Amino acid sequence: MPEIFAHISPAWALMLSGLLCMLSPSHHVRKALMIAAPVVAFLLFVAPSTLGVSGGTFEMMGIEFSTYRLDRLSYPFGLIFIIAAFLNGIYALHERNRLTDSAAQFYAGSALGAVFAGDMLTLFVFWEITAISSVFLIWANGTSASIAAGMRYLAIHVLSGVLLMAGALVLWGDTGSLAFNNIGLDVGLAGWLIFIGIGIKAAFPFLHNWLQDSYPNATVTGAVVLSAFTTKMAIYALARGFAGEEILVWIGAIMTVFPVFFAVVENDLRKVLAYSLNNQLGFMVCAVGVGTALAINGAAAHAFAHIIYKALLFMGMGAVLHRAGTVKASELGGLFRSMPYTTVFTIIGALSISAFPFLSGFVAKAMTMSATAQEGYIIPWLMLLFASAGVLEHSGIKIPYFAFFSHDSKRRPAEAPFNMLVAMGIASALCIFLAWPFGGYQWLYSILPNDLGYNPYTADHVLTQYQLLIAATAAFVILRMSGLYPSERRGTILDFDWIYRKFGYGVVRWLTAMLGRLGGHAEHGMEARSRLWNKRMQAVFHPAGALSRAVPSGSLAIWTTVLLAVALIIAYRAG
C-alpha cells in the first residue's frame, strides 16, 4: 500500500461509511458499507511498516492537533475495535434500519478516533461523538423505557465530556500543553477533572448505573455494539493517562466484587451481562492501577479478549430476544432444543468469560492476577479471586443455564438468522484461537504494549484456576439443589441510582415548590406596587386631583416669575 496511506487514521473509513449509510436509502448498499468499511480501516491500520506513526497533525490557533498516533499502547485497542466493527456489521445484516446502521458506524469510528488521538482536544471531539452517535442505538428500540434510558445515558456522557474538556483547559493553562500522555493526579485539579470524566465512561462505582440502565434497553444489535467500545475506550484512556495510580487498584477491585451480588439476583439476562461487564472492567481498572509492564499488558489483553467474548454473549442473548421475544430468565428455558447453535456459541462465550483454561479469558486474566500478587496487593488480589468465582456463577453458568436449559418453558423459537450465527461462530473461533497453547496466545501477547515472554500455562496456574472453577460450580449446584439459590422472578433490582434518582426527584419537587412560592410572592408584590403607583397617579392627575385644585394667584405669579428667570438664564448661556 502506498506510503501516503500510512498516515491516515482508520477511523475516517468508518465515519465516512456512517455518513454514506445515512444518505443511502438502499439496504444492500448500507450493509455492504458496514462490511467493507472495517476492511478498509484494517488496510489503513496495517499500512505503516513500523509503529510510532503520528499522522493527521496540524496546527490551529497555536494548538497542535494530532488525529492519528499509532504506538504499542494504541495498537491492540485499535485492532480489536476494527474487528468488533466487522463482527457487528455481520451480526446486523438482517436489520433494515438506516438510523442504527449509520449510528453504529459513526460510533465505532469515533471510538477508534479517540484511541488514536494524540491531543486532548481531538480526544474530546471523538469522546463526544461516541456519546451522541451511540444514544440512537438505545432510542431505536422505540419503547418509553428506552427513550428515558437514552436521555439519562446522553446526559451522563455529555457530563463526562464536559469534565474532560474542563480538565484539558485547566491542564493547558497550567502546563501550556494539550498533549494526551501520562497525566496523573499530581497535577491537581486538571488531573482530577479528567480522571472523573474518564471514570464515568469506565463505569466507576457510584457512576456505573448508566450501563445497566441503557444496554438492556438498546436494540438487539445495539446492545452488541454498545458492549464493545465506550468502556474499553475509557480503559485505554486510563492506561494512557493514569497508569500506576494506586487509587485505581482499589476502585477496580471494588468494581469486580459488587456487581456479582446484583447479577446473581437479576432476572433480565441482558442486564446480568451489563453487571458482568462492570465486573470485567474492574479487572482492567485494577491492572491499570498496578501499572507495571505486566499489568498494562494484562489490561490490554483483557480488553481485547473481553470485547470478543462479551460481544458473543450479547449476540447469544440478542438472538434469543430476536426469536423468543424475551430475555427474562423466569420466562426462558429449554431453548437448546430449537436453538442448538446459539446454545453452543453462548456456552463458549460463558466459558471464556469464566477464564476456563484454553479459552481467551484465561490467558488475559492471568496477567492481571499475577501482576496484582507480585506487587503485594493481597486484599485486592483476594477480591479479584472472589470475583473470578462470581463471574462463573452469574455469566458462566446462569446465562446459558436459565436461557437454554433449566425448566422447559415450552418455547420453541426458530434458530437465529444465518448472519447472526456467522458472527457468533467467528467470535467463538477467536475465543478459542486467542488461548490456543500452540501459537494463539503468543500472537495475542506479541501485540501487547510490552515484550515480556509471559507464560499462562504453568501447572500451578492451570490447577489453581481449575480448582476455583470446580468449587464455584459445586457451590452453584449445591445452592440450586437445596433451594437456596435466588429464584428467577419478575421484579426490579434497586441499585445505587435509586438514591440519587429519589434525591434528585425530591430536589426537583422542592425547587418547583419554592419557585412557585417565590413567583406567587413576587406577583403579589408587583400587584401591591401597581396599586400604590396607580393610587398616587390618580392623586395627581385625577379631575379631583392636585393639578385640578384651585391655586392662589399670588403663588401662581411667583412660580411664573421663577420659571421665566430660569428660561432667561438658559437662553443667555446658550447665546
pLDDT digits (tens, 9 = 90+) for 263-306: 888 899 999 999 999 999 999 999 999 999 999 999 999 999 99
414 exposure class (CB count in 10 Å sphere: 0-12, 13-18, 19+): exposed
**How much is the CA Rg of the chain, to the nearest whole Å?**
32
DSSP-derived 3-state class of residue 121: helix
Tell me how far CA of residue 277 lies from CA of 80, 235, 259, 405, in angstroms.
Answer: 17, 13, 9, 23
The answer on 364 and 252 residing in a single domain is: yes
- Considering its fold, how many domains does the chain have in total? 2
The answer on 515 and 410 residing in a single domain is: no
What is the pLDDT averaged over residues 556-575? 62
Residue 439 CA, chain-centre distance (Å), reads 33
Amino acid identity of residue 470, one-letter, is I
Task: Write a three-state SS string for 215-258.
Answer: HHHCCHHHHHHHCCCHHHHHHHHHHHHCCCCCHHHHHHHHHHHH
Q: Which residues pair with 119 in a beta bridge?
A: 179
pLDDT digits (tens, 9 = 90+) for 332-386: 999 999 999 999 999 999 999 999 999 999 999 999 999 999 999 999 999 999 9
223 in a domain, yes or no? no
The answer on 507 and 427 residing in a single domain is: no
The DSSP secondary structure of 376-411, one letter per residue, reads T-HHHHHHHHHHHHHHIIIIIIHHHHHHHSSS----
Give the count of beta carbons closer than 10 Å to the beta carbon of residue 259.
31
Name the phi and psi angles at 53, rounded to 5.
-75, 140
**Smallest Cα–Cα separation from 156: which of 128, 136, 177?**
128
Q: Extract the C-alpha cell encoding 510.
A: 422542592
Non-local CB neighbours of 15 within 8 Å, separated by 6+ positions: 105, 106, 109, 110, 113
- Check pLDDT > 50 for residue 255: yes
Question: Which pLDDT belongs to residue 337?
Answer: 94
**Smallest Cα–Cα separation from 413: which of 329, 490, 334?**
334
Q: How far, in Å, CA of 97 to CA of 130, rounded?
A: 19
Q: How far, in Å, CA of 240 to CA of 243, rounded?
A: 7
The answer on 328 and 415 residing in a single domain is: yes
The answer on 527 and 390 residing in a single domain is: no
Question: How would residue 450 be classed by pLDDT, with cut points 50, 70 and 90?
Answer: very high
The DSSP secondary structure of 7-51, one letter per residue, reads GS-THHHHHHHHHHHHH---HHHHHHHHHHHHHHHHHHHH-SSSS
397 in a domain, yes or no? yes
- Check pLDDT > 90 for residue 485: no
Question: How would residue 487 be classed by pLDDT, with cut points 50, 70 and 90?
Answer: low
The answer on 519 and 479 residing in a single domain is: no
Give the count of beta carbons closer than 10 Å to the beta carbon of residue 481.
9
Residue found by looking up cell 438510523 in the block: 99
**Which domain-ending residue is among 433, 465, 490?**
490
Q: Which residues pair with 169 in a beta bridge?
A: none
- Check pLDDT > 80 for residue 415: yes
Quote the DSSP letter at residue 284. Answer: H
- Check pLDDT > 70 for residue 134: yes
- Check pLDDT > 60 for residue 547: no
Domain assignment of residue 551, given as a range: 501-574
Q: How far, in Å, CA of 285 to CA of 248, rounded?
A: 6
- Check pLDDT > 60 for residue 555: no
354, 276 contact by CB (below 8 A): no
162 in a domain, yes or no? no
Non-local CB neighbours of 21 within 8 Å, separated by 6+ positions: 30, 33, 34, 98, 101, 102, 105
CA angle 363/368/372 to nearest 5° reads 145
Question: Which pLDDT belongs to residue 203?
Answer: 94
- Check pLDDT > 80 for residue 51: no
The answer on 543 and 450 residing in a single domain is: no
| pTM for the model | 0.85
Q: How far, in Å, CA of 310 to CA of 427, rounded?
A: 10
Question: Which pLDDT belongs to residue 420?
Answer: 97
Tell me how far CA of residue 415 lies from CA of 315, 329, 339, 426, in angstroms.
Answer: 13, 18, 5, 17
Question: Which pLDDT belongs to residue 35?
Answer: 96
DSSP-derived 3-state class of residue 355: coil
Give the count of beta carbons closer than 10 Å to the beta carbon of residue 242.
23
**Which domain-ending residue is among 490, 525, 552?**
490
The answer on 459 and 324 residing in a single domain is: yes
Give Dmax (Cα) for the chain.
Answer: 123
Question: How would residue 508 be classed by pLDDT, with cut points 50, 70 and 90?
Answer: low
Q: How far, in Å, CA of 277 to CA of 235, rounded?
A: 13
The answer on 539 and 432 residing in a single domain is: no
Question: How would residue 261 be classed by pLDDT, with cut points 50, 70 and 90?
Answer: confident
What is the pLDDT averaged over residues 445-472? 90
Residues in the chain: 575
Question: How would residue 540 be classed by pLDDT, with cut points 50, 70 and 90?
Answer: low
Question: Which pLDDT belongs to residue 327?
Answer: 94
The answer on 513 and 467 residing in a single domain is: no
Helices (H), 412-496: 418-433, 440-446, 459-482
Amino acid identity of residue 353, one-letter, is I
Question: Which pLDDT belongs to residue 336?
Answer: 94
Question: How would residue 20 be classed by pLDDT, with cut points 50, 70 and 90?
Answer: very high
Pick the more confident residue, 179 or 480: 179
pLDDT digits (tens, 9 = 90+) for 161-193: 999 999 999 999 998 889 999 999 999 999 999
Q: How far, in Å, CA of 54 to CA of 56, rounded?
A: 7
- Check pLDDT > 80 for residue 136: yes
Question: Which pLDDT belongs to residue 409?
Answer: 86
pLDDT digits (tens, 9 = 90+) for 224-246: 999 999 999 999 999 999 999 99
427 in a domain, yes or no? yes
What is the pLDDT averaged over residues 421-431? 97
Question: Which pLDDT belongs to residue 478?
Answer: 87
- Check pLDDT > 60 for residue 561: yes
563 in a domain, yes or no? yes
463 in a domain, yes or no? yes
**Which domain-ending residue is among 463, 490, 517?**
490
Q: Which residues pair with 59 in a beta bridge?
A: 64
138 in a domain, yes or no? no
Q: How far, in Å, CA of 138 to CA of 527, rounded?
A: 49
- Check pLDDT > 60 for residue 2: no
pLDDT digits (tens, 9 = 90+) for 111-120: 999 999 999 9
Question: Which pLDDT belongs to residue 208?
Answer: 85
Average pLDDT, the chain: 87
22 in a domain, yes or no? no
pLDDT digits (tens, 9 = 90+) for 78-127: 999 999 999 999 999 999 999 999 999 999 999 999 999 999 999 999 99
pLDDT digits (tens, 9 = 90+) for 57-70: 767 766 777 888 99
Q: How far, in Å, CA of 467 to CA of 355, rounded?
A: 12
The answer on 557 and 415 residing in a single domain is: no
Q: How far, in Å, CA of 45 to CA of 47, rounded?
A: 6
CA angle 391/431/70 to nearest 5° reads 105
Q: Extract the C-alpha cell encoding 414.
A: 426458530
The answer on 564 and 458 residing in a single domain is: no
Residue found by looking up cell 443511502 in the block: 24
- Percent of the chain scoring above 70 in pLDDT: 84
